[in-house]
Amino acid sequence: MAQSLVELICQHFSGAVVATHAEHGDETVVVTPELWHRVAEFLRDEPAASMNMLVDLTAVDYPDRLPRFEVVAHFLSLSLGHRLRLKTRVGGGDGSGAELDTLTDLWASANWMERECFDLFGVVFRSHPDLRRILLYPEFVGHPLRKDYPAERAQPIVPYREVPNIDKLAPFGPDEGMSFGRKTYDLRDRAEVEDDC
């Protein structure tokens, strides 16, 4: 069903479609960033598509590829009952130049999802009505879901208290608290020791 939709897009935007593939019955179309907005508008307005719901919009960071970010949008047609995944690739190696046209004028639900995408990945959506951070605080520097952001680098708003013995795990032992350094008990060995006693 969505296969015919992919063919429809390929006919209308023959130069814009970079790649198509299907995974578990879900069709994906990768388009150039310049035509991102136009393809989305076509998907909404074309009667054969009539995608009246933008389910999700997010990005994926592939630090090794050259258009670094892949922005993904999931569409659903409530009237026709089919889905389509639309992707595009933006951004230089250092994350600069990741810019796209906003979809907020087509689906209101794009507003917060684009803000989240901007907050966590730093993808800028042109002519977005209110492009601010949505999950993190304005003082935050950087975009934490980029692969080059160190996972444990916190930027506290409230400075941590200056108290002795307040390092990360106090008052717990060094093997408690964090799952990464947790002890594993070999019950079998201990049982043998207890049997000997």
Partner 1 sequence: MGDLKASRRDAVEVGEGAGFITTRAEDLLAWAQKYSLFMYPYVTACCGMEFMAVTGPRFDFSRFGSEAPRFSPRQSDLLWVVGTITQRQAPVLKRIYEQMAEPKWVLAFGTCAAVGGFYDNYACVPGIDKVIPCDVYVPGCPPRPEAVLDGLMLLQDKIQRGEHSPTTVTPRFDPARHPKLALHQLRRSRG
Neighbouring residues of 193: CB distance < 8 A, sequence distance ≥ 6: none
Indicate whether 188 belongs to the interface with partner 1 (CB under 8 A).
yes
Q: Is the peptide bond before 67 cis (omega within 30 degrees of 0)?
A: no
180 binds partner 1 (CB under 8 A): yes
Residue 136 sits in the site that holds partner 1 (CB under 8 A) = yes
Strands (E), the chain: 17-23, 26-31, 53-61, 69-77, 82-90, 99-101, 124-126
* CB closer to partner 1 out of 24 and 168: 168
Residues 150-179 that bind partner 1 (CB under 8 A): 151-158, 160-161, 163, 166, 168-172, 176-179
CB of 182 to partner 1, least distance (A): 10
Q: Rule CB under 8 A: is residue 187 a binding residue for partner 1?
A: yes
Site mask for partner 1 (CB under 8 A), range 82-121, x = bound: ----------------------------------------
Q: Tell me how far CA of residue 100 lies from CA of 11, 38, 78, 90, in angstroms.
A: 23, 12, 26, 8
- Binding mask 39-68 vs partner 1 (x if CB under 8 A, - otherwise)? ------------------------------
Tokens (6 digits) for 59: 């990005």
CB of 9 to partner 1, least distance (A): 37
In the complex, minimum distance from the CB of residue 46 to partner 1, in angstroms, rounded to a whole number = 40
Q: Is residue 78 classed exposed, middle or buried when 0-12, 13-18 and 19+ CB atoms within 10 A define those classes?
A: exposed
Rank residues 66 and 157 by Cβ distance to partner 1 and give the closer one: 157
Residue tagged 């307005």 (tokens): 45
149 binds partner 1 (CB under 8 A): yes
Q: How far apart are CA 100 and CA 127, in angstroms?
A: 9
> Among all chains, which residue has been given the structure tokens 């951070």?
133
Of the pair 24, 153, the CB lying nearest partner 1 is at 153
Q: State the Cα–Cα distance between residues 3 and 44, nearest whole angstrom.
A: 17
Q: What residues line the site for partner 1 (CB under 8 A)? A: 136-137, 144, 149, 151-158, 160-161, 163, 166, 168-172, 176-180, 185, 187-188, 190-191, 194
